[in-house]
């Protein structure tokens, strides 16, 4: 399989892209999906979500104090 960056991958292989997508190669082609969950049910007035590329995850913190995490009631991915 040839990915969008021009890299060749063997059949039945898996990899994670720089954009945090998990991809796989099979005889029918390449399939990719996000490797992370996105927070959707939290107090958006008081809090904000921050994407951390190094860990491919989100952190939800208070807008005025990033050291305080906010509760998240629902995630999608």
CB 40 within 8 A of CB 74: yes
pLDDT at 77: 84
Query: Can you give the pTM of this predicted structure?
Result: 0.76
pLDDT at 10 over 90: yes
Say whether pLDDT at 4 is over 90. Answer: no
**Domains in the chain: boundaries:** 1-35, 38-76
In the 8-state DSSP scheme, what is residue 51? E
Task: Give me the torsion for CA of 14, 75, 50, 5, rounded to 10°.
Answer: 20
Do 1-35 and 38-76 have matching folds? no
Assigned CATH for 1-35: 2.10.70.10
Q: What is the pLDDT of residues 11-66, one digit of tens each?
A: 999 999 999 999 999 999 999 999 999 999 999 999 999 999 999 999 999 999 99
Is domain 38-76 annotated with CATH 2.20.25.590? yes
Q: From CA 64, how far away is CA 44, in angstroms rounded?
A: 12
The number of C-alpha atoms within 13 Å of 12 and in the hemisphere containing its C-beta is: 0
């Amino acid at each position: 399989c040839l990915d969008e960056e021009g890299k060749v991958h063997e059949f039945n292989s898996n990899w994670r892209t720089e954009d945090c997508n998990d991809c796989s190669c099979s005889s029918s082609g390449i399939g990719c999906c996000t490797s992370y969950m996105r927070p959707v049910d939290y107090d958006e007035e008081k809090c904000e979500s921050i994407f951390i590329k190094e860990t491919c995850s989100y952190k939800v913190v208070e807008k005025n104090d990033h050291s305080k995490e906010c509760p998240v009631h629902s995630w999608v991915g």
